[in-house]
Amino acid sequence: MEPAWEPRRELGRVRLRQGRLADIYRVHVGTHQVERLTTASTLEVQPNWLPDDRLLFTVVSGHQTSLRWLDPANPAEIHNIPLTGGNPGNPAGVR
């Protein structure tokens, strides 16, 4: 589990499933409601909440690593973050 606190006291966390696959979930702290935000067939890790409530995370697929973000209000729409040369590290430093 890789937890990341959201400004409204929600928790983004990673939950492993079926070996090398992982999805990101949001846990509503007050109600303990768990909401699955991603369902891809990749390893989605290192969640980090941005100041505008979007969720930034790293995706590992084979030997490719990329950064993506989503709005929890519309988690089906995942956006790629273009990178020019280089490999994304821990997105926790991105603000």
Mean pLDDT in each 10-residue stretch from start to end of the chain (95 residues)? 57 61 80 83 84 86 87 91 66 49
Residue 89 inside a domain? The answer is no
In a domain, 86, yes or no: no
pTM exceeding 0.75? no
Residue 51 structural domain: 4-81
Residue 54 falls inside a structural domain: yes
Residue 88 lies in a domain: no
pLDDT at position 82: 81
Q: What is the pLDDT of residue 74?
A: 92
The count of structural domains within the chain is 1
Residue 40: C-alpha distances to residues 5, 30, 53, 74 (Å): 22, 27, 21, 15
pLDDT confidence of residue 9: 57
The answer to the question of residue 42 being in a domain is yes
Question: What pLDDT was estimated at residue 70?
Answer: 92
pLDDT for res 51? 83
Residue 92 forms part of a structural domain:
no
Q: Is the CB of residue 81 less than 8 Å from the CB of residue 67?
A: yes
